[in-house]
Amino acid sequence: MHFPIENKALEAGGMIRLIRCAVVCCLAIPLTMGCPSRKEVASSLAPDEFTPEAEAILHVGQAYRDAYTARKKPPSSIKDLKPYLAKFGDPDSVLISPSDGQPYEITWGVVPGHPPRSMKVSPFLVCEKSGKDGKRYVLDFTFRVRCVTKEEFEKLRGGAQ
């Protein structure tokens, strides 16, 4: 026997299941990809541009992320960060930029990987105070290391303090 009303209901139900399956697959694929590796995170600089200075600023960002992960809250000071810098060397030395010899500027109290929405907050998780030869290294909240000119730095920083 053929019941046209039931077939349409079954077809509609099948279509709904198909749509649900497609949505679940689209959501699941990014989750299975996982987090990028350290070198992928740093790939904002070309491999030949990834210098010891870029590696140094990335270490500070990684320690900040490690502190956040371990403490379940963002670090609010150097005191919170120092224990997580030790795996990269002497914590006091790791906090000094090899480019300009000055302590890095760190944006405290923000969740790493999530850029702040406020323009009053720096767009950088870590940056050099002055850099060298008119350029400075910055690490943004998505863990991209960039070497920027003074003009690029000011433009990226916008109205941030």
Per-residue pLDDT tens listing for the chain (161 residues): 555 555 554 455 555 564 554 433 333 333 333 333 333 333 366 666 778 999 999 999 999 999 999 999 999 999 999 999 999 999 999 999 999 999 999 999 999 887 777 656 688 999 999 999 999 999 998 889 999 999 999 888 875 65
- Position 93 scores a pLDDT of 96
Say how far apart CA 135 and CA 129 lie, in whole Å.
10
Q: Taking Cα atoms as reference points, which of 39, 42, 40, 73 lies closest to residue 138?
A: 42
Q: Answer whether 0.75 is exceeded by the pTM.
A: no
Residue type, 145: V
- 106 contacts 82 by C-beta, under 8 angstroms: no
